[in-house]
Amino acid sequence: MRGELVRVNAIQERLGLPPAMRPDDDRPADDDYTVGHAASVLAFTTDGLAHLRYPFGTRQADWAHDL
């Protein structure tokens, strides 16, 4: 997910995820930066709901198989 930090964090809060953080916001946008964010994968189904949550460390092959 990407977008304005305030909007991203509002969506993440509704999904029960911690907010994304960019501790060096005072640096120019074209410079290198660090960011902290959730590392889980949420699987949304055709009803628009996230029925599955794969925690950090789950192999891509595992959740790709489920999808």
The whole-angstrom separation of Cα 28 and Cα 36 is 18
Q: What does pTM read for this prediction?
A: 0.62
Tokens 């960011």 label which residue?
35
- Could you give the 3-state DSSP secondary structure of residue 14? helix
Q: Is the dihedral of CA 41, 45, 50, 54 positive or negative?
A: negative
Residue 45 lies in a domain: yes
Range of the domain at 49: 40-67
- One pLDDT digit (tens) per residue for the chain, 67 residues: 788 889 989 999 998 888 888 776 666 666 676 778 788 888 888 999 988 889 899 999 998 888 7
Q: For residue 55, is it within any domain?
A: yes
Q: How far apart are CA 10 and CA 6, in angstroms?
A: 6
- Tell me if 34 is assigned to some domain: no
Residue 55 DSSP symbol = P
60 falls within a domain: yes
